[in-house]
Amino acid sequence: MLLIRIFVAVGAIEDFDPRPYSSNWHLHQDEARYLAGLEKYSHRVDEGKPGDIAMYRFGKHASHGAIIVSDDHVIHAHKRDGQVILCERSAMLNRLDSYWSVIS
């Protein structure tokens, strides 16, 4: 929901609600659902830059997105902590799947 709320707020996409979905939907996927939804609003890029999305694998497919805010940091929603956090891009580098841009 964080990515949706931010990109709607800046006028990059139209508002929509992807719910309902299970809180552990990403664990046993038979298809890359998150990426399929992301493809409707963005496109894959080779390198992520500020304002782009970094997608991470948790489970079988990419299932967690963060917004790149600088060369060194991303923001993402951390469910366990119940908050949006700023973290170093290198912290989840081993789970990095791909980069996406909402900008045409």
Q: Distance of alpha carbon 96 from its chain centroid, rounded? A: 11
Q: What is the pTM of this model?
A: 0.82
Expressed as residue numbers, the domain containing 71 is: 2-101
Please name the residue that has the structure tokens 């989840």. 92
pLDDT digits (tens, 9 = 90+) for 58-81: 877 888 899 999 999 999 987 777
pLDDT digits (tens, 9 = 90+) for 8-52: 888 888 888 877 666 665 565 667 777 887 888 899 999 999 999
DSSP code of 5? Answer: H
Contacts of 37 (CB under 8 A, 6+ apart): 18
49 phi and psi angles, rounded to 5 deg: -130, 170
Please name the residue that has the structure tokens 């993402």. 76
Alpha-carbon span 98 to 47, nearest angstrom? 9
Q: How many structural domains does the chain have?
A: 1
